[in-house]
């Protein structure tokens, strides 16, 4: 999920969610060296993997009343692999009332910069590499990758984590933005059925960021990780007491 904050981007609003197929595509790591001067990589796309992803995206859209879905492909060039992905996307969306569109990856990168708000209320779906790129671009539009939370969701289990991964260069400095980790935890609470806890944490985090008094260096403050986290905790407690 990608959402802007009023203080950080007062002139640009974005509220969308990115669904990325994480088991296929170029990231399967299947490569072969065919000569000393050339190598190839396999881009594996299956109907099962594509449909599983888009079914999850449809479930999300229905749960949060999102009426638009954008499939990011390069089907004009990758006719077979992206052809499968697009075909399964159309089948999954059929009859749901969700408005479906397709945008090629190169144009998508441009559109997100020059006309960001057209994607508000949209679920973005794509294959592994393409959505890896688009989700990173979306985090820059929000203001910091330290704000982006994520999850790997399967049929029976889920793992929630900050989208940015590790940052060993900041280890032990107590300066990293805690937002992504905090909101990943809030999303996990929702997954476990604790919607009230989720709402309290999200509201508290938004309040702390928009006030700007106790935030980390990447979003214009000088607070430590601990100080910003403590502020979010206090606001969340107050929200739960109401």
Instruction: Report the number of distinct structural domains present in the chain.
Output: 2
Which CATH number is 40's domain given? 3.40.718.10
One domain, residues 204 and 167: yes
The predicted structure's pLDDT at residue 155: 85
The predicted structure's pLDDT at residue 117: 95
List pLDDT tens digits, range 16-44: 999 999 999 999 999 999 999 999 999 99
The predicted structure's pLDDT at residue 187: 96
The predicted structure's pLDDT at residue 41: 97
One domain, residues 138 and 148: no
Kindly state the tokens that stand for 80.
């077979």
One domain, residues 175 and 79: no
Side-chain-side CA neighbours of 56 within 13 Å: the count stands at 21
One domain, residues 204 and 111: no
- Residue 75 CA from chain centroid, whole number: 22
The predicted structure's pLDDT at residue 165: 77
One domain, residues 156 and 75: no
One domain, residues 107 and 85: yes
One domain, residues 24 and 138: yes
One domain, residues 102 and 220: no
Q: CB of 31 within 8 A of CB of 39?
A: yes
The predicted structure's pLDDT at residue 57: 97
Of the candidates 220, 224, 225, the one whose C-alpha atom is nearest the C-alpha of residue 209 is 220
Among the candidates 143, 175, 191, a domain finishes at 143
The predicted structure's pLDDT at residue 166: 82
What is the residue range of 136's domain?
Answer: 1-143
List pLDDT tens digits, range 96-136: 999 999 999 999 999 999 999 999 999 999 999 999 999 99
One domain, residues 45 and 99: yes
One domain, residues 148 and 120: no
Model pTM?
0.91
Side-chain-side CA neighbours of 211 within 13 Å: the count stands at 14
Contacts 24+ apart (CB under 8 A), 59-66: 60/17, 60/19, 60/123, 61/96, 61/98, 61/123, 62/96, 64/17, 66/17, 66/98, 66/121, 66/122, 66/123
31, burial (CB in 10 Å: exposed 0-12, middle 13-18, buried 19+): exposed
In this structure, are strands 122-126 and 15-20 parallel, antiparallel, or unpaired? parallel
Contacts 24+ apart (CB under 8 A), 231-237: 232/178, 232/182, 232/201, 232/204, 232/205, 232/208, 233/204, 234/204, 235/203, 235/204, 235/205, 235/207, 235/208, 236/200, 236/201, 236/203, 236/204
Kindly state the tokens that stand for 107.
């144009």
Distance, CA of 83 to CA of 51 (rounded, Å): 13
Low-confidence ranges of the chain (pLDDT < 70): none
The predicted structure's pLDDT at residue 133: 96
One domain, residues 101 and 18: yes
One domain, residues 199 and 92: no
């Amino acid at each position: 999920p990608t959402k802007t904050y009023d203080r950080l981007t007062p002139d640009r609003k974005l509220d969308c969610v990115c669904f990325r197929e994480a088991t296929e595509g170029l990231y399967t790591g299947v490569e072969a060296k065919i000569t000393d001067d050339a190598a190839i990589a396999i881009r594996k796309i299956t109907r099962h993997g594509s449909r599983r992803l888009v079914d999850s995206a449809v479930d999300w859209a229905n749960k949060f009343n999102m009426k638009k879905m954008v499939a990011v492909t390069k089907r004009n060039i990758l006719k077979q692999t992206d052809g499968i992905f697009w075909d399964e996307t159309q089948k999954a969306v059929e009859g749901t009332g969700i408005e479906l569109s397709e945008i090629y990856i190169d144009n998508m990168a441009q559109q997100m910069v020059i006309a960001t708000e057209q994607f508000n209320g949209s679920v973005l779906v794509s294959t592994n590499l393409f959505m890896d790129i688009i989700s990173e671009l979306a985090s820059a539009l929000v203001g910091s990758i330290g704000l982006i939370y994520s999850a790997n969701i399967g049929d029976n289990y889920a793992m929630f984590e900050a989208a940015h991964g590790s940052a060993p260069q900041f280890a032990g400095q107590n300066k990293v933005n805690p937002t992504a980790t905090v909101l990943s935890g809030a999303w996990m609470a929702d997954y476990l059925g604790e919607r009230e806890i989720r709402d309290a944490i999200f509201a508290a985090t938004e309040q702390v960021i928009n006030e700007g008094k106790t935030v980390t260096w990447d979003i214009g403050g000088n607070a430590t990780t601990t100080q910003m986290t403590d502020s979010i905790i206090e606001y969340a407690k107050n929200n739960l007491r109401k």
